[in-house]
């Protein structure tokens, strides 16, 4: 369950720029937020104990929020 949630989010995050930016658009800040999200997802260890996963998911949620604050 948790493993597939992580895999699913990584897949989504790998396509976030083409999904949300107009074709041909380059946006450095948007790209940075997307890259921060990918970093946060990579650091989420689905085998870790709850406390560590909770910490990692807070970092993921902050990465979502940071981009939404500027772009949504
Ligand atoms: C790099 C920027 C970026 C990141 C990172 C990002 N989002 Fe978004 N998200 C957007 C943008 C832009 C929209 C608005 C898209 C639109 O309206 O067409 C959006 C819309 C959404 C929506 C649609 C609902 C709504 O209120 O408009 C959901 C749900 C959502 N994001 C969830 C997430 C989650 C969960 C994460 C983290 C795992 C995340 N997003 C990370 C840019 C981002």
Ligand 1 centroid to residue 67 C-alpha, Å = 8
Query: Do residues 37 and 16 make contact, with C-beta atoms less than 8 angstroms apart?
Result: yes
Specify the pLDDT at position 2.
Answer: 84
Residue 65 alpha carbon to ligand 1 centre in Å:
8
Sign of the alpha-carbon torsion through 61, 58, 54, 43: positive
- Spacing, Cα 4 to ligand 1 middle (Å): 20
**pLDDT tens column, 2-51:** 889 999 999 999 999 999 999 999 999 999 999 999 999 999 999 999 99
Distance, in Å, from the CA atom of 11 to the CA atom of 29, rounded to the nearest integer, reads: 20
Ligand 1 within 6 A of 71 CB? yes
Instruction: Report how far residue 39's alpha carbon sits from residue 59's, in angstroms, rounded to the nearest whole number.
Output: 10
Q: For residue 66, name the pLDDT band (cuts at 50, 70, 90).
A: very high
Q: What is the pLDDT of residue 1?
A: 77
């Amino acid at each position: 369950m948790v493993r597939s949630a992580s895999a699913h989010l990584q897949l989504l995050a790998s396509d976030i720029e083409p999904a949300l930016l107009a074709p041909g658009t380059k946006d450095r800040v948007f790209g940075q937020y997307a890259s921060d999200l990918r970093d946060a997802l990579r650091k989420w260890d689905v085998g870790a104990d709850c406390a560590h996963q909770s910490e990692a998911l807070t970092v993921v949620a902050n990465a979502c929020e940071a981009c939404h604050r500027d772009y949504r």
